[in-house]
Structures are given as C-alpha cells and as structure tokens.
Structure 1
Amino acid sequence: MNKPPHKKNPTFGIAVFIVVAVLLVIATLFYNAITEKRDFDNQNATAPSISSTAAAAATVARPASGQAQ
C-alpha cells in the first residue's frame, strides 16, 4: 500500500530558469535604455537662446489687453 516516491519533473525547473533569464534580459534592456536616454538628454541640453529670452521678456513687459496703460 506504500506509494512509490514522487519523481521531480526536471522540465519545470528548466522552464522556471528560462523565464527568469528572459525577465532579467528584458529588465537589463530597459535599464540601459533609461540610463542612455538620461545621458543623451544631459549632453544635449541647450541653454535658452537670446531671442527666446527676449521674447519672454517682451511678453512680460506688455500689459494684458483691456488694462489701462
């Protein structure tokens, strides 16, 4: 009446290993993409040009329509 010992299925362990490996690869790709984008944005950040600064100052100096000058 004794049951024979249950054999482990090696396929399940290999499947888990493959899934974990694929998830690690995807996580690494996302991490590298995010860090590369930050580096790219930091290197290509441009200072505001003089014309855009002058345009911003001109809009601030101008009174809104409908107000007395």
Structure 2
Amino acid sequence: MNKPPRKKNPTFGIAVFIVVAVLLVIATLLYNAIKEKREFDSENAQTTSLSSGAAAVTATSAATTAAKPASGSAQ
C-alpha cells in the first residue's frame, strides 16, 4: 500500500541551470548593447553640435569675407 519514494531526475535540474545561464547571458548582452548605444549617442550628439557650431562660424566668416571687397580690386 505504501508507494515507493520517487527518484529525483538529475537532468531536470541541469536543464533548469542551463536555461537560467542562457537567459543571464542574453540579458547581459542586451544590457551592454543598450548602455554602449546610449554612450555612443551622447558622444555623437556632442560631436554633432560642436561640428554644426563650427560650420556656422565658418559660414558666418565666409559671408563676412565675401561682403568685403578685396584691396586693390576695381569697385
């Protein structure tokens, strides 16, 4: 009448461990990718604003230079 005790299946524990390990690796990769993307975007935004500011200064100085007549030229 008594049932014999169930034997534990060791492969189930190993399967759970492998699944958890794979999920942990995927989560780490996603976290690093998002962090790197944010760092890249912040550095790239600063570079873009600096280069656009330099382009504006260059365009302004070019317009100022074009407005002045060259010395010695006929007017």
TM over 0.5: yes
Q: Unaligned stretches of 5+ in structure 1?
A: 51-69
C-alpha displacement of 1:4: 1.0
- Tell me the CA shift for residue 31 of structure 1: 0.2
Q: Cα RMSD (Å) of the superposition?
A: 1.7
Task: State the secondary structure of the residue aligned to 1:44.
Answer: helix
How many residue pairs get aligned? The number is: 51
Structure with higher helix content: 2
In structure 1, the residue matched to 2:24 is 24
How far off its partner does 1:40 sit? 0.6
Distance 2:28 2:22 in 1: 10
- Taking the aligned partners of 1:11 and 1:40, their CA distance within structure 2 comes to 43
Q: Identity of paired residues, percent? A: 82
- The normalised TM-score by structure 2 is 0.62
